[in-house]
Amino acid sequence: MKVLFVCSGNTCRSPLAVAAWRRACGEMPGLEQIEVDSAGICPEENAPAAPHSLTIAAQSGQDLSEHRAKMFDATHTHSDLIVTMTRDQAEILRAHFGLDENRVRVLGSWVPRRTKREIKAQLQPLWGSDGAKMSSPHDDILDPHGGSFEAYADCAAQIERAVRELAKVLSSSQRLGNG
């Protein structure tokens, strides 16, 4: 099975999703046989991972220093599961490449709604009146590009939670032989 994480520029969110996946592989059986990669809808080709993404990944033992941004293209449509960071990205890929909605999913869709509400309530005091900016009301994981380290850390935490939920589902599927 092949999973592809997709964001806009392939320097912030999708590399962090790959790093989160690697961590999950070390903790959940059945994931090691799933191949993961990342791409962007509109990247600057060959750009390195964003500095804050590099730092956050390194803090959890993952090295993104060799990462280089690449454009989503027709070869990526052969992935078994394409996981975008936003609903708009999913719609763009479905429309432009004629992909089925079951193969293109939004990463945040794996996080239970109750968990999303609890997390937002916990973080609201940190953001004060800017609380609406901390996360999307939907399944979207918003782009921290150009933001503070804290914005990247919040984004990485959202990605980590969602990737862990996705990993649980796929790990179970692989153990049952459905992958």
Question: Would you tell me how many other CB atoms lie within 10 Å of the CB of residue 96?
Answer: 12
pTM (2 d.p.)? 0.85
Q: Are strands 35-40 and 81-84 parallel, antiparallel or unpaired?
A: unpaired
C-alpha distance from residue 149 to each of 100, 114, 145, 156 (Å):
36, 26, 10, 10
Among 6, 131, 126, 1, which residue's Cα sits nearest to residue 73?
6
Angle of CA points 79, 85, 87, to nearest 5°: 95
Q: Which residues of 18-55 are buried (b: 16+ CB within 10 A; e: fewer)?
A: bbbbbbbbeebebbeebebebbbbebeeeebbbebbbe
CATH code, domain with 82: 3.40.50.2300
pLDDT value of residue 26: 87
Tens digit of each residue's pLDDT (9 = 90 or more) over 141-177:
999 999 999 999 999 999 999 999 999 999 877 554 5
Top pLDDT among 38 and 110 is at 38
Show Cβ contacts of residue 140 under 8 Å, excluding neighbours closer than 6 positions.
Answer: 85, 86, 87, 88, 106, 108
SS3 state of residue 122: helix
SS3 state of residue 44: coil
Q: How many structural domains are present in the chain? A: 1
* Average pLDDT estimate for 70-87: 97
- When pLDDT is cut at 50, 70 and 90, the band that residue 71 belongs to is very high
Angle of CA points 22, 24, 29, to nearest 5°: 110
Helix, strand, coil percentages, rounded to 5, for the chain: 50, 10, 35
For 164, the domain range is 2-175
pLDDT value of residue 126: 56
